[in-house]
């Protein structure tokens, strides 16, 4: 089983025809339990899946399909089950069932046949883990308009949560409340409360359509290590995706509805892109971060999680395009391959040890304060525990030591829950009666006396809800002592006031207006809805009202897990004072820092002005020097030019003199040559004459 590769399991569920649709014929036929056909005038499509459920299929058949994965979750394998399809095709019915399906097992021997996957899976998990040392942590997330909200702690969607990733926890939501649920009733209460806070809207196809993606998470952790010294942990996700929807041109849709529709289609489109990229098997980038939904389900879609897709479709011919689109998505999802491996962590893991030490220190602190009530002793105990933790960090841990820490942690938590706690600010103190109270409960309110008016100004007839209280079993009986003062400490008004919550359960007929008011355990102001209309509302025998229960809760943060087990008023007051002092000191420090900053800025500005002045003076001096140099250079150049001109003129005169001298010399030379020629010619004629005279006497006459 470990490190096996398998394809994503896909099942298709066909919604039955409604009364308004029975005039039309179904376009879907199911030849076998693994095949589905769509046949009409334009389409003939045949597809095969792991399982196809016809319109007559029951909720138990759907559960039987996913139950093997639930059994593997108890062995340390992650599992994700999500419903996908067009709005109004039965996704929420498949996951949660009808309203009465979450009835408490104390009042019903078993869940109703219409119970959805989530309540049936919860009951199966607890029944299968009775002989195992396991702890279940439950949380409920809502993705509304691409923002994450805690359905159990933030019904008004006031705080947006962030997605984080760590080596120890993988992908998780920082600040999300995780309640310790020790029974199916605890889980049903959480599911009930979360569904009351979901964002819903009436649409063209559904009068109560979910406008957000919701994920009910169960973290399963073993309390003891196995023979190899490993502790198993698994994460189980139940995802009810919001349905895709087209823009209705005929009816004008309000702006909020259009925004919801756009964000839902955008996130589903991102999911489709991720499924397509995973189905192709290519090594290209997988766009998990395109949507909060795909980012949160990254572990479920990518690796190390057994994932089951339940695609819901409608057989009505008007919605054939949406049905084909859903089946195409299922075909792509069928191609996705995932590697499954068991999630085990070494019992000697440092991060796990530090987490357990932190929880034990916190629980011991609360128990010490409850038993003895001394703040000085509390501080001394904290100091001793700090020293003890410091010593434990410096020694090696064995598997037995870690198991001891986990067992001690759980015992302290249960002991703290069974002791009972103070109320927030009303001065009421609640004690246990002789009747046995469930382990997972810590009484916070009393049973309203029969026939008494809820919200009366008398303390004995008034009950205030605690922010972390949830309805328990009807067998839990708790008495209210006489410490009540009869007025609210927050606003000094007689009850009822805005800080008190009326009973969410049945009251006498004379007070029907009050009967309809129900307060979420996490709301500060009541929200009115009938007891029968609440999702999975509880009904009690003989008209008795079940009392709220206290459930342990933790919050996953970036670097640690913060436990919240019901800190008392005294400790809260001290912590609040310290927090106020820290805030005041922080504000003073900020003011001092601001003044110092302004002084530094002023000094910097003065220094900058001085530097600018010096720089300007230096620039002026530099310019003057440069101008002077330029003038000197110009004068030097002028001198050179003048010198050059003089030299040139002198050279020209010299050249002229040379030319004259050469001309004279040439004339003298010509004159000398002419004279020499004349002289030679005279000599020549002289010799000639002499010769003629010598030769004859007539030569001279002829010559003359």
Give the whole-angstrom CA distance, residue 479 versus residue 159. 35
CA angle in degrees (0–180, nearest 5) for 213-218-223: 165
Virtual torsion, Cα 459, 465, 467, 473, nearest 10 deg = 130
Whether the CB-CB separation of 76 and 88 falls below 8 Å is answered with no
Give the whole-angstrom CA distance, residue 417 versus residue 551. 8
- For the chain, the residue count is 704
Whether the CB-CB separation of 81 and 66 falls below 8 Å is answered with yes
Check whether 90 is labelled as a binding-site residue: yes
Check whether 462 is labelled as a binding-site residue: no
Closest by Cα among 416, 421, 462, 426 to 444: 421
Query: Token pair for residue 524?
Result: 């500060």
Check whether 351 is labelled as a binding-site residue: no
Contacts of residue 681, Cβ cutoff 8 Å, sequence gap at least 6: none
46 forms bridges with which residues in the sheet? 37
Whether the CB-CB separation of 291 and 148 falls below 8 Å is answered with no
Angle between helix 117-128 and helix 59-73 axes, rounded to 10 deg:
40
Check whether 91 is labelled as a binding-site residue: yes
| Alpha helices (runs of H) in 48-116, residue ranges in sequence order | 59-73, 91-96
Check whether 86 is labelled as a binding-site residue: yes
Give the whole-angstrom CA distance, residue 234 versus residue 599. 57
Check whether 87 is labelled as a binding-site residue: yes
Ranges of beta strands (E only) in 384-474 are 430-432, 469-470
Place of tokens 């299922």: 330
Task: Name the 3-class secondary structure at 601.
Answer: helix
Whether the CB-CB separation of 320 and 40 falls below 8 Å is answered with yes
Give the whole-angstrom CA distance, residue 472 versus residue 185. 7
**What b-and-e string marks burial along 573-612, b requiring 16 or more CB atoms within 10 Å of the CB?**
ebeeeeeeeeeeeeeeeeeeeeeeeeeeeeeeeeeeeeee
Q: Is 352 exposed, middle or buried (0-12, 13-18, 19+ CB in 10 A)?
A: buried
Query: Other C-beta atoms within 10 Å of 267: how many?
Result: 23
Give the whole-angstrom CA distance, residue 500 versus residue 507. 17
Check whether 697 is labelled as a binding-site residue: no
Give the whole-angstrom CA distance, residue 641 versus residue 578. 90
Check whether 92 is labelled as a binding-site residue: yes
Residue stretches of the annotated binding site for ATP: 85-92
Residue stretches of the annotated binding site: 85-92
């Amino acid at each position: 089983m470990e490190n096996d590769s398998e394809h994503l399991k896909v099942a298709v569920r066909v919604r039955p025809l409604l009364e308004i649709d029975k005039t039309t014929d179904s376009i879907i036929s199911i030849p076998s339990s693994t095949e589905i056909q769509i046949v009409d005038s334009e389409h003939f499509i045949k597809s095969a899946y792991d399982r196809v459920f016809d319109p007559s299929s029951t909720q138990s058949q759907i559960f039987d399909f996913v139950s093997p994965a639930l059994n593997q979750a108890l062995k340390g394998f992650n599992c994700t089950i999500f419903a996908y399809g067009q709005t109004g095709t039965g996704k929420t019915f498949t996951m949660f069932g009808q309203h009465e399906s979450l009835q408490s097992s104390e009042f019903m021997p078993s869940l109703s046949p219409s119970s959805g996957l989530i309540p049936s899976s919860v009951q199966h998990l607890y029944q299968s883990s009775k002989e195992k040392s396991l702890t279940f942590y439950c949380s409920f997330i809502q993705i509304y308009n691409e923002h994450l909200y805690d359905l159990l702690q933030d019904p008004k969607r006031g705080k947006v949560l962030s997605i984080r990733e760590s080596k120890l926890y993988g992908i998780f939501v920082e600040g999300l409340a995780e309640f310790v649920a020790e029974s199916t009733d605890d889980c049903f209460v959480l599911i009930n409360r979360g569904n009351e806070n979901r964002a819903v809207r009436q649409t063209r196809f559904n009068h109560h359509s979910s406008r957000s993606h919701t994920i009910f998470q169960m973290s399963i952790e073993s309390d003891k290590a196995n023979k190899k010294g490993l502790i198993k942990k698994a994460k189980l996700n139940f995802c009810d995706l919001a349905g895709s929807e087209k823009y209705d041109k005929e009816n004008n849709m309000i702006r909020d509805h259009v925004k919801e529709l756009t964000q839902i289609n955008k996130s589903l489109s991102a999911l489709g892109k991720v499924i397509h990229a995973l189905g192709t098997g290519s090594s290209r980038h997988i766009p998990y971060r395109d949507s909060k939904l795909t980012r949160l389900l990254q572990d479920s879609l990518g690796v190390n999680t057994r994932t089951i897709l339940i695609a819901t479709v409608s057989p009505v011919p008007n919605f054939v395009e949406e049905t084909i689109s859903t089946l195409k998505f299922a075909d792509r999802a069928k191609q996705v391959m995932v590697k499954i491996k068991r999630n085990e962590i070494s019992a000697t893991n440092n991060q796990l040890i530090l987490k357990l030490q932190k929880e034990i220190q916190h629980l011991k602190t609360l128990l010490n304060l409850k038993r003895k009530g001394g703040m000085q002793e509390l501080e001394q105990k904290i100091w001793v525990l700090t020293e003890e933790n410091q010593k434990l960090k410096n020694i090696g841990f064995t598997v037995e030591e870690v198991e001891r820490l986990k067992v001690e942690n759980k015992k302290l938590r249960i002991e703290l829950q069974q002791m009972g706690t103070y109320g927030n600010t009303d001065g009421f103190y609640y004690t246990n009666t002789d009747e046995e109270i469930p382990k997972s409960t810590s009484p916070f309110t009393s049973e309203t006396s029969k026939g008494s008016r809820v919200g009366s100004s008398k303390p004995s007839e008034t009950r205030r809800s605690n922010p972390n209280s949830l309805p328990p079993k009807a067998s839990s009986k708790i008495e209210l002592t006489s410490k009540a003062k009869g007025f609210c400490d927050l606003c000094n008004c007689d009850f009822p006031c805005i800080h008190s919550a009326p009973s969410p359960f049945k009251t006498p007929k004379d007070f029907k207006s009050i009967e309809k008011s129900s307060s979420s355990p996490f709301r500060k102001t009541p929200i009115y809805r009938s007891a029968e209309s609440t999702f999975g509302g509880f009904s009690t025998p003989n008209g008795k009202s079940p009392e709220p229960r206290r459930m342990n809760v933790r919050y996953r943060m970036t670097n640690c897990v913060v436990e919240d087990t019901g800190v008392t008023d005294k400790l809260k007051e001290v912590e609040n004072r310290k927090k106020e002092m820290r805030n005041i000191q922080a504000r003073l420090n900020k003011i001092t820092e601001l003044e110092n900053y302004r002084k530094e800025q002023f000094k910097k500005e003065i220094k900058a002005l001085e530097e600018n002045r010096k720089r300007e003076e230096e620039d002026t001096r530099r310019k003057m020097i440069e101008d002077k140099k330029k003038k000197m250079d110009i004068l030097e150049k002028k001198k050179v030019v003048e010198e050059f001109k003089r030299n040139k003129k002198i050279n020209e005169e010299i050249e002229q003199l040379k030319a004259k001298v050469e001309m004279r010399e040439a004339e003298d030379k010509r004159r000398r040559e002419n004279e020499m020629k004349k002289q030679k010619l005279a000599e020549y004629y002289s010799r000639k004459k002499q010769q003629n005279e010598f030769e004859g006497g007539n030569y001279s006459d002829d010559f003359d």
